[in-house]
Amino acid sequence: NAGVTQTPKFQVLKTGQSMTLQCAQDMNHNSMYWYRQDPGMGLRLIYYSASEGTTDKGEVPNGYNVSRLNKREFSLRLESAAPSQTSVYFCASRKGTSGGLPYQETQYFGPGTRLLVL
Amino acid sequence: SQKIEQNSEALNIQEGKTATLTCNYTNYSPAYLQWYRQDPGRGPVFLLLIRENEKEKRKERLKVTFDTTLKQSLFHITASQPADSATYLCALSPRTYKYIFGTGTRLKVLA
């Protein structure tokens, strides 16, 4: 059971380049999240997917797009990278039981992707 | 706007003492609060969850309190050990799928 996996672990981009961050979970969770973590700012929600087939914006969605490819995978795309997107990106998943109280459930985080945009 | 504050300065304590970390929030009515541990270069790991109608929760050497009147949660580690050194994050959710995280407090336990 790998939990939540993210690829790549580290990436350097030039301004204007595009890339996709991959995330997969093997826990059969319904909900998945993308966060960015910057010094002094804490974890900020970029996008989330409450269940397969749905996605919603979080606190800082500008400059990003997401795809919930299937129940296991949730990718984050930077169409035209900017230096302000230099950050550590974390993917997380949550069980999201139907009919339950979603906010009572914990999140499981991946190891992160460190992105540097020059 | 909604705001969560954790002490941004590192907390240094002596091994064996009790570490107390604070999480304050404003403009918020969270249904529950969670505490996570984050080691350098790794993702956060869940530790404890406390609901709005609970005053205190314990797990082994960890204790969390939640005061919705003061809008504050305290996180205690008793008999602290050097292995407890990490950054601790609090997270709130108002009753939706979204979570709001604090900036975290770095704890260093000195041997």
Q: Which residue has the higher pLDDT, A101 or A68?
A: A68
Q: Which of B99, B103, B106 to mutate to test the interface with A (most CBs of A within 10 A)?
A: B99
The whole-number pLDDT of residue B54 equals 87
**Radius of gyration of chain B measured on its C-alpha atoms:** 13
Give the three-class secondary structure for B82: helix
- Tens of pLDDT along B29-74? 777 889 999 999 999 999 998 888 888 999 999 999 998 889 999 9
Q: Which residue has the higher pLDDT, B53 or B80?
A: B80
Owner of token pair 């005053």: B55
Interface contact flag, A50 B44, Cβ < 8 Å: no
- Tens of pLDDT along A35-81? 999 988 889 999 999 888 899 999 999 999 999 989 999 999 999 99
Rounded to an integer, what distance in angstroms lies between the CA atom of residue B40 and that of residue B47? 17
Strand A113-117, strand A10-13: pairing: parallel
CB nearest to B99's CB, from A4, A41, A45: A45
H/E segment holding residue A109: strand A108-109
Rounded to an integer, what distance in angstroms lies between the CA atom of residue B80 and that of residue B90? 19
